[in-house]
Structures are given as structure tokens and as C-alpha cells.
Amino acid sequence: MDSAEEARFKDFAQAQAAPSRRFAYLLCGDWHFAEDLMQTTLIKIYRTWSRVEAPEAAGNYVRQVLLRTWLDEKRKPWRRREERSEPVPDVADVAPDPAAEAQRMWAKSVVQEGLLKVPPKQRAVLVLRYFDELSVAETAQVLGCSEGNVKSQTARGLATLGKAVGLLKPQGLVSS
């Protein structure tokens, strides 16, 4: 790869790093693992950079590679357990408002406990459609399946998540 192409790749990687890590986090529920996934994904793309025709429109390609990387990692024996303990906070509390804090904690619980109970493909569909706001057709393209399959996976994923969320304890309530 010549230096001009390398510079283009660096710009691309810089632009994709944060969104990719967020996407990975919603899939795996762990920021550290998400960072590993993002870096592995970008390294894979670096190796095939010459085949990326329009880097500025390669968002879905990045999602596709990341998704496969995540599924590959999940199959590794030391990655099979997905239950996560509560992570040590990495950043200062940005929302001193107790109501907003409760909302954030609730959202984290939904991701780290509820979403992790949803099967991987359904989880990927939910994240692609409701976080990345991809259309059914785009989601089908990323997942390499039919649009009908995306719709059915979405319905099943929402139902599974609804059940899992129903089992979560209300956040922000402390018994006295």
C-alpha cells in the first residue's frame, strides 16, 4: 500500500473507530471487548483495502466485517461466557441529575442483561435497525440474508428482549 492510500485508510479508520466501537458494544455489552473487535475489524479491512471501492460509503461493509468478527470471536471457547460483571466506571458521571442517571443505568441494564439474552442474529438485527437506523434492505445486505428474514428476526428479537426486560429490576430504586 502506498503512502497516499495509507493516509486515506488512516482517515477512514479514524472516522469509523468510534461508531464501530459503539456498534460492537451493543453487540457484546463490554467496552473493552468492543474496542478489540473494532481494532480487529479495521485491521481486516486494512488487509483488503485495495478492494474497498468507496471508503466514504463503506459503513455497512465495516458493520458486516465487525459482525463476522464478533461471531467468530464468540465461537472461541474462552469467549463463550457472555455474562458480564458490572464494569468499573471509566468516566466521570456526566449526569448528576438522579432521574437522568436512573435512565442511563436502566439503558445499560437493558444492553448488558436484556440484550445479551437475545440470540446473536436477532441482537444484530435489533442494533442495526434501531441503533444504526438501517432500513430492512440495508440490514439484509449487512447480514447477508433476505428482507423477510430480517423482518422475522426483528419480531422475534423484540419479543425476546421484551421478556428479558420484563425480568429486570427497576433501576434507581433502593430499598430502605
Selected from 73, 152, 158, 171, the binder of another protein by CB under 8 A is 158
Selected from 124, 143, 150, 161, the binder of another protein by CB under 8 A is 161
Tell which residue, 60, 73, 71, 45, has the closest CA to residue 123.
71
Coil/strand/helix, residue 23: helix
- Give the C-alpha separation, 2 to 5, whole Å: 5
Contact call for residue 172 and another protein (CB under 8 A)? no
Smallest separation, CB 175 to another protein (Å) = 24
- The answer to whether the beta carbons of residues 106 and 152 sit under 8 Å apart is no
Contact call for residue 120 and another protein (CB under 8 A)? no
Find the angle CA(6)-CA(132)-CA(107) to the nearest 5 degrees: 120
Which residue, 6 or 148, is less far from another protein as judged by CB?
6
Contact call for residue 54 and another protein (CB under 8 A)? no
CA atoms within 13 A on the CB side of 20: 30
Which residue, 8 or 64, is less far from another protein as judged by CB?
8
Interaction pattern, residues 70-109, with another protein; x per rule: CB under 8 A? -------------------xxx--xx-------xx-xxx-
Stretch that binds another protein, among 51-59, 67-75, 122-130, 137-145 (CB under 8 A): 122-130
Distance in angstroms between the alpha carbons of the first and the last residue of the chain: 63
Contact call for residue 6 and another protein (CB under 8 A)? yes
